[in-house]
Amino acid sequence: MLDVAIIGGGPAALSAALNCRQRNKTVCVFGRSLDSSLLFAAEKVDNYLGIPEVNGEELLNQFYTHAVKKDVEFQECRVTQILNMGEHYMINAENNFIEAKAVILATGLSKSKGIAGEMEYLGKGVSYCATCDGMLYKDKKVVVVSENEEGEAEANFLADICKEVLYIPLHKTITNLKNSVGVLSAKPMAVKGTGDKLTALVTDKEEIPCDGIFFAKDTLPPDSLIYGLKTDGKNIEVDRRMATNLPFVYAAGDCTGAPYQIAKAVGEGLIAALSVVSDIDKMKKE
Ligand SMILES: Cc1cc2nc3c(=O)[nH]c(=O)nc-3n(C[C@H](O)[C@H](O)[C@H](O)COP(=O)(O)OP(=O)(O)OC[C@H]3O[C@@H](n4cnc5c(N)ncnc54)[C@H](O)[C@@H]3O)c2cc1C
């Protein structure tokens, strides 16, 4: 079991990982490709102390190389769910299930907008993870709405379980979809239901009656990643130790709110690492 699972891949995650490793904790960073970090898009950074006029991509590569040199493991993947198992956490990294004593969330700014009714029906028909919840829709009709090609694998998985699967791509090309999956070009507008039961996806073209809707997104709202996480709008609520309301779960960087700056992300990553190390060591002694 890992000591610390870090979800992210930008400056906050890499800083947290480096500082956990320096205190001899086993750690793995579960992050999407480096170019998905906001820093990658910065043409010129001139406010990071000691490294003037640097290109964002270069700086990120320096952070990454430093962390890997210090034995930080980096797994390129999208984490879809983190389950609280009582004494530890279970990370679902594209169907690899990894156990960790503690979690640091460093997922960056949540770009996920969501549609009307999406959060209301989360867990009542709306899901972000086909392999976690697919069996609940055995012999039923589901719709997969996908921002990226990874959604095709989700739809293919569901095609073996469900009576009918409709795929709505919000990305350009379809590369590997089973023939049994129907494809629809439409803009999802709202999730509809009666009481606790989801009944349809409303699009700009038609209303599609269905039992479940799976959203495959580039970034998930943080509170959909882990049940019970307290947020303030899109920001994860943390205290000065970067601890969230959940035991052994911490957060750092843009996902905790403004200012959206590298130095803040790196600093919060360090604080989260120090807090997690101290809490794990305390637990060992008890
Ligand atoms: C154009 C531009 C210019 C900027 N210029 C500056 C500047 O000059 N100075 C400055 O201080 N700041 C600047 N910033 C802001 C800076 O880039 C951010 O504050 C910083 O990158 C935040 O780091 P982070 O680690 O919190 O988030 P990010 O760098 O956004 O990293 C988050 C990472 O987590 C990954 N992730 C999210 N969800 C998941 C998941 N479920 N599973 C796996 N991985 C996931 C994302 O894909 C991403 O790689 C700029 C930003 C932009 C866009």
**In sequence order, what E strands does 43-108 have?**
73-76, 79-84, 89-93, 96-105
Fold of the domain spanning 126-216: FAD/NAD(P)-binding domain (3.50.50)
Q: pLDDT digit of tens for each residue in the chain (286 aa)?
A: 999 999 999 999 999 999 999 999 999 999 998 998 999 988 889 999 999 999 999 999 999 999 999 999 999 998 988 999 999 999 999 878 999 999 999 999 877 778 999 988 887 899 888 877 889 999 999 999 998 888 999 999 999 999 999 999 998 889 999 999 999 999 999 999 998 899 999 999 999 999 999 998 877 788 888 989 999 988 999 999 999 999 999 999 999 999 999 999 999 999 999 999 999 999 877 7
Closest CA to 243 of 85, 101, 92, 102: 102
Distance CA 199, CA 211 (A): 6
Query: What is each CA distance from 111 to 99, 107, 129, 219, 221, in whole angstroms?
Result: 27, 10, 18, 6, 8
Contacts of 176 (CB under 8 A, 6+ apart): 149, 152, 153, 156
CA of 57 relative to ligand 1 center, distance in Å:
11
CA of 43 relative to ligand 1 center, distance in Å:
13
The neighbouring-strand residues paired with 76 are 31
> Does residue 268's CB lie within 6 angstroms of at least one atom of ligand 1?
no
The neighbouring-strand residues paired with 167 are 144, 183
Q: Pick the residue whose CA is nearest to atom 20 on ligand 1.
A: 262
pTM of the model: 0.85
Closest CA to 66 of 56, 74, 76, 55: 74
pLDDT of residue 281: 93
Secondary structure of residue 153 in the 3-state scheme: helix
Residue 270 has a CB neighbour count (10 Å cut-off) of 19
Q: Which atom of ligand 1 is nearest to the CA of 253?
A: 26
Q: Tokens 């996908």 sit at which residue?
A: 146
CA of 36 relative to ligand 1 center, distance in Å:
8
Q: Pick the residue whose CA is nearest to atom 26 on ligand 1.
A: 253
Distance CA 120, CA 23 (A): 41
- Helices then strands, counting H and E runs in the chain, come out as 6, 17
pLDDT of residue 114: 82
Query: What is each CA distance from 198 to 87, 119, 155, 221, in whole angstroms?
Result: 33, 12, 19, 20
CA of 39 relative to ligand 1 center, distance in Å:
5
Q: Which of 39, 92, 98, 226 to mutate to test the pocket of ligand 1 (most atoms within 8 A of CB)?
A: 39
Q: Which of 28, 35, 38, 78 to mutate to test the pocket of ligand 1 (most atoms within 8 A of CB)?
A: 38
Classify 2-111+220-285 by CATH class: alpha beta
| Amino acid, single-letter form, for residue 18 | L
Residues of the chain with CATH 3.50.50.60: 2-111+220-285, 126-216
> Does residue 257's CB lie within 6 angstroms of at least one atom of ligand 1?
no
